[in-house]
A and B are shown apart, each in its own frame.
Chain A
């Protein structure tokens, strides 16, 4: 009997610019970049120099915290630039692809006979280990620990969320291989969480060796943190669970069946300012320039690696972040609005019933980046509770984070959450508080101090 968990709290923000379920083959830029800043808590130590030739799967840098944890090149070619920022922080390692797909061979792995150590070793050396993340702290999993269980969220409930049913179409074999590999990493369950509201593809529906659970509810029901909370909550900092994105799991499966770090993936390109809203074949670390060239409307737009709630703003020549499967382009909102707080001059999504949006629950909005107000003191209470489907008191946890109050942060559930779980709280906040940042700072603080 497959369990269904119904969540009522949350909010679906419907946006214009849903990508068509269609993949265009487009020659992608030959420039690729791996950005060490995408990996939380990692101090990179370079192993390549400018001008060096690399194969796909050759290491670019390793983590000073764990020298076996390698970060590798997604393509074969030449390291053309090592871009450093303030204080000589390594920002990007840029590789010019030779378009030859020379793979470093890690050897096929027979998962039926392989040991846990074999899997870990292959993953660490191939650069696929960073796909595995952990709660608490939402950082790269520690290969020396054994997780209680591993979670895969099979759907993305965020605005213009990535359609994994389309992406995983035809990837059944590699997806299953990935799951088989994960099974060697934990003594507990592999949880595969699916949406009750979607027609799930065969790769997800037929996956075996997993505990399947359906989630029925609005965003953030697709957030892995919410799912962990309802299935196997992380209560102390010693309750380690891991999680992995389904598309990354396919790349992992491919590694074990071919022996190659073949970082091809589909990227969903959407948002109201994209001309051809669709999927593109892509490789991890690729430049977004070719995907967006002649593909966005004129005007001042914001390009986001990821979704509108948790993504990062990038420029039109930048590179997709390591973990993202999505590019969103929406207009900037620099226009001042006469009495806009009283009489909105154009439709905008809102969770508040004081705006007319709630009368049109199925309307999709062309949304811009305007703040629609200014920063204010915390005044309104009771609103965050409506969009956080967890037994966690959001306002109190946020305040504990602001006060660096470790005891209360622990007791109120800091280990269960990631900033993304609070993205909706931040969106609906009347006082426009930077809540994801507060939670992130709280997590950083408690990881250092507790």
Chain B
């Protein structure tokens, strides 16, 4: 370790102002502080500080995504071989999945961190760690067959337009990873919401239609419900994640493991996670009740769907646990978080069922509530002010 420290110390002058590599100072700082927590001491204020910092916080979120990532890699392989009608082993699934998923992850991190480092350098800031999380969320919320250049374009778009334009980490209004997804969703709809791509590839499976076995469908439960057909997967399969979908979103089980990590460490807000699920479930029940009151002809299989299936299908769980909880774009007051989460759940199910143009309501519901979060907070803060004033005897 001392050797490494010596090397870094020897290199430092080159990166300082006036040095040969002055332009890479932020990058050097980021690397240096990643390896060694600086020996900075407190000055003014409290003399001691908590062991927690933003690096650790963000890293914990990344750790919580590992179960979903690993399952996603496996499932990409599994679905690939299933489409081709080939029996495959765990290892084969993982290898095939890795070939598809890891390049997407790599592109997301390289493009995003590259832009972040450049902005930090221009602004004379230090590199914030927020992108560690965003860079992993982007691949997990995209279909496995997404072209790599699209990943790059979407990442660049979100880092610049969603984040840096507003002032960087901590200042953005919208969730950056979802902004990347929504950018692709509207710019290249066929690549985000169809079943097949123009070249004949399945969207949700890394396989070509011409090679697939007969009877294999590229449809997800969500898209089938959208077409008023019964889903292919059972509730149990949806829970475990043995279905097609975006890379990290299919396994509710893996996502719940992540949720547990986030809630126990206190890094993800349990208020948001729980209330999103409750909101979705309640809206599912309401739709059931409305449906039951309609004439038989107008009843729909989607409105009658088991409310639980809404929580297990598509990106609901993934959005609730990893996207809605982004502290920067979510509501910031404790009470506000509950309203915010609940409304995300409600709007998601509402969009899914009543707006067939958008089979996945989660993304739009979260972005919509990102925009409304300051308003939710405003009402909570005003009620606090009123309550405080009311104490006058």
* A and B assemble together: yes
B122 at the interface (CB under 8 A from A): no
- A379-B41 in contact given A337-B36, A411-B388 (Cβ < 8 Å): no
CB contacts (< 8 Å) of B54 on chain A: these are 373-374, 376, 379-380, 430-431
10 chain-A/chain-B pairs, Cβ below 8 angstroms? A308-B46, A309-B46, A341-B59, A351-B50, A373-B37, A374-B126, A377-B168, A379-B328, A381-B269, A431-B54
A interface residues with partner B (beta carbon < 8 Å): 13, 159, 233, 235-236, 302, 304, 308-311, 313, 328, 330, 332-342, 344, 348-355, 357, 367-383, 385, 391-393, 395-396, 411-413, 423, 426-432, 434-437
Check if B384 sits within 8 Å of A432, measured CB to CB. no
- For the complex, what is the distance from the CA of A145 to the CA of B392, rounded to whole Å? 20
The residue on A at minimum CB distance from B169 is A377
Residues on B with C-beta less than 8 A from A371 are 38, 40-42, 49
> A336 touching B48 by the CB < 8 A rule?
no
Q: How many residues of B contact A (CB 8 A)?
A: 56
Minimum-distance CB pairs A-B, first 10: A373-B53, A377-B170, A340-B37, A352-B52, A354-B265, A350-B51, A341-B55, A348-B51, A411-B385, A336-B36
* Contact in complex: B49, A308 (CB < 8 Å): no
Any chain A CB within 8 A of the CB of B67?
no
Apart from the given pairs A355-B51, A374-B40, 18 other A-B contacts in the complex at a CB distance below 8 Å? A302-B47, A308-B47, A334-B41, A337-B36, A340-B37, A349-B48, A349-B50, A350-B51, A352-B51, A367-B48, A370-B39, A371-B40, A372-B51, A379-B170, A380-B327, A383-B266, A396-B332, A412-B388
The CA of A337 and the CA of B384, in the complex, are separated in Å by 42
Bound CA span A440–B387, Å: 25
Contacts of A431 in B (CB 8 A): 54
A96 to chain B, nearest CB (A): 31
The residue of chain B having its C-beta at the shortest distance from the C-beta of A369 within the complex is B41
Chain A, residue nearest B392 (CB): A235
Question: Are A342 and B389 in touch, CB under 8 angstroms?
Answer: no
Interface contact A391-B387, CB-CB below 8 Å = yes
Tell me which residues from 1 to 57 in chain B have a Cβ below 8 Å from any Cβ of chain A.
Answer: 1, 4-5, 33, 35-42, 44-57
Residues of B within 8 A of A383 (CB): 266
> Would you give the shortest CB distance from B50 to chain A, in whole angstroms?
5
The A contact surface, by secondary structure, is loop
- Set of chain A residues within 8 Å of B45, measured between Cβ atoms: 423, 426, 434-437
Chain B residues with CB below 8 A from A435, complex form: 45
In the bound complex, how far is the Cα of B384 from the Cα of A428, in angstroms?
24
> Which one of B60, B328, B387 lies within 8 Å of A354 (CB-CB)?
B60
Distance in angstroms between the alpha carbons of A236 and B50 in the assembled complex: 34
Q: Which residues 338-393 of B sit at the A interface, judged by CB distance below 8 A? A: 381, 384-385, 387-389, 391-392
Tell me if B208 is interfacial: C-beta within 8 Å of chain A: no
Q: Tell yes or no: B267 within 8 A of A by CB.
A: yes
Could you tell me the distance between the alpha carbons of A413 and B190 in the complex, rounded to whole angstroms? 53
Q: Does B86 contact A (CB under 8 A)?
A: no
**Interface residues, chain B, with chain A CB atoms under 8 Å away:** 1, 4-5, 33, 35-42, 44-57, 59-60, 126, 128-130, 168-171, 264-267, 269, 327-328, 330, 332-334, 337, 381, 384-385, 387-389, 391-392
**Bound CA–CA A357/B51 (angstroms):** 9
What's the minimum C-beta distance from B35 to chain A, rounded to whole angstroms? 7
Q: B37 is contacted by which of A370, A378, A385, A428 (Cβ under 8 Å)?
A: A370
Query: What is the CA–CA distance of A122 and B41 in the complex, to the nearest angstrom?
Result: 45
B170 touches A378 (CB 8 A): yes
Q: What chain B residues lie within 8 Å of A335 (beta carbons)?
A: 39
Are B126 and A330 in contact, with the CB atoms below 8 A?
no
CB distance from A180 to the nearest CB of B (A): 27
> Hey, which chain A residues are within 8 Å of B328, CB to CB?
379
Contact A374 B50 (CB under 8 A): no
Q: B267 to chain A: which residues have CB within 8 Å?
A: 354, 380
| Contact A432:B49 (CB < 8 A) given known A377-B128, A379-B54 | yes
Q: Which residues of B contact A368 (CB under 8 A)?
A: 41, 48
CA distance A333 to B45 in the complex (A): 16
**Beta-carbon contact of A391 and B388 below 8 Å:** yes
Query: How many whole Å from B111's CB to the nearest CB in chain A?
Result: 21
Distance between Cα atoms of A437 and B50 in the complex (Å): 18
Q: Is the CB of B49 within 8 A of A373?
A: yes
Are A393 and B333 CB-contacts (below 8 A) given A235-B389, A369-B41, A379-B327?
Answer: yes
Chain A residues with CB below 8 A from B389, complex form: 235, 411
| CB atoms of A412 and B384 under 8 A apart | yes
Q: Kindly state the separation between the CA atoms of A372 and B128 in the bound complex, as whole angstroms.
A: 15
Given A352-B266, A395-B332, CB of A372 within 8 Å of CB of B52: yes
State whether A341 touches B48 (Cβ < 8 A). Answer: no
Cα–Cα, bound, A302→B265 (Å): 32
Residues of B contacting A352 in the complex (Cβ-Cβ under 8 angstroms): 50-52, 56-57, 265-266
Q: Are A336 and B39 in contact (CB under 8 A)?
A: yes
Residues of A within 8 A of B170 (CB): 376-379
Complex: A315 Cα to B64 Cα, angstroms: 45
Cβ-closest chain A residue relative to B389:
A235
Residue of B nearest to A333 (CB): B41
* CB closest chain-B residue, reference A338: B1
Write the nearest CB–CB distance from A367 to chain B, whole angstroms. Answer: 5
Is B327 within 8 A of A382, CB to CB? yes
Q: Which of B45, B168, B265, B269 lies at the interface centre, i.e. has the most chain A CB atoms within 10 A of its CB?
A: B45
Q: Is the CB of A369 within 8 A of B51?
A: no
Residues of A within 8 A of B59 (CB): 341-342
Q: Please, which residues of chain A bring their CB within 8 A of the CB of B37?
A: 336-337, 339-341, 370, 372-373
In the complex, what residue of chain A is closest to B36 when comparing beta carbons? A336
Q: Is the CB of A379 within 8 A of B46?
A: no
Complex-state Cα separation, A355 to B266, whole angstroms:
11
Q: Are B51 and A330 in contact (CB under 8 A)?
A: no
Contacting pair A426 B55 (CB below 8 A) = no
A351 to B170, CA, bound (A): 22
Given the complex, which residues of A lie within 8 Å of B52, measured CB to CB?
Answer: 350-352, 354-355, 372-373, 428, 430
Q: Which residues of B have CB within 8 Å of A378?
A: 170
Shortest C-beta distance, B148 to chain A (Å), equals 29
CA distance A449 to B282 in the complex (A): 50
Assembled-state Cα–Cα distance A115/B4 (Å):
73
Instruction: Indicate if the CB atoms of B47 and A311 lie closer than 8 Å.
Output: yes
Whether B33 lies near A427 (C-beta < 8 A) is no
A26→B330 CA distance, assembly (Å): 58
A286 to chain B, nearest CB (A): 21
How many angstroms between the C-alpha atoms of A430 and B168 in the bound complex?
17
Chain A residue nearest in CB terms to B58? A379
B41, A370: Cβ atoms closer than 8 Å? yes
Known: A302-B47, A379-B328, A412-B384. A370 touches B56 (CB 8 A): no
Which of B1, B36, B327, B388: most chain A CB closer than 10 A?
B388
